[in-house]
Amino acid sequence: MLYWIVGLVSVSFVGIIAVGAYYEMRPQPAAGRPRRRMRNVLGGNLFLFVLAEILLLFTAANEVMAAEAVNVAVSEVSIGKGLALIGIGIPTAVATIAAGIAVGPVGSASLAVIAEKPEMFGRTLIYLGLAEGIAIYGLVVTILMLGKI
């Protein structure tokens, strides 16, 4: 059952990427709205993805809870420690996404300023560095939290 759910998640994920690639290659007119069919396909695909992720989470948790204890001298990761590791990784993920969102507009504005005034290159690098610093702060928080486990 677990393999079917993983396959469903994979197919849904590939479908979401395919719809994104379709919209990238064939953009909609500025005044027009997205076609109803493609919007329904994307909505259905996202719903299927979320549903499969929830099923995967509950099925995997049941599989882990039902497994017999093995007497091995290996350091095992409990559910609590696994959830703690996921929680520790979240600041890095959010900070990286935020840095990507920040670098986009700052980078395009920097290129526009450099095209008009090349002597502003140093200042624009400072602003880009500040935007990239967001990701570094998330990484530092993650490293500090790993030290607490």
**pLDDT mean values, one per 10 residues, the chain (149 residues):** 71 76 71 66 78 76 65 67 83 88 89 90 89 87 84
Say what the pLDDT of residue 43 is. Answer: 78
User: Which amino acid would we find at residue 81?
Assistant: K
C-alpha closest to that of 132 among 110, 100, 109: 100
CA-CA distance, 38 to 42, in Å (whole number)? Answer: 6
Would you say the pTM of this structure is higher than 0.75? Answer: no
User: Which amino acid would we find at residue 107?
Assistant: G
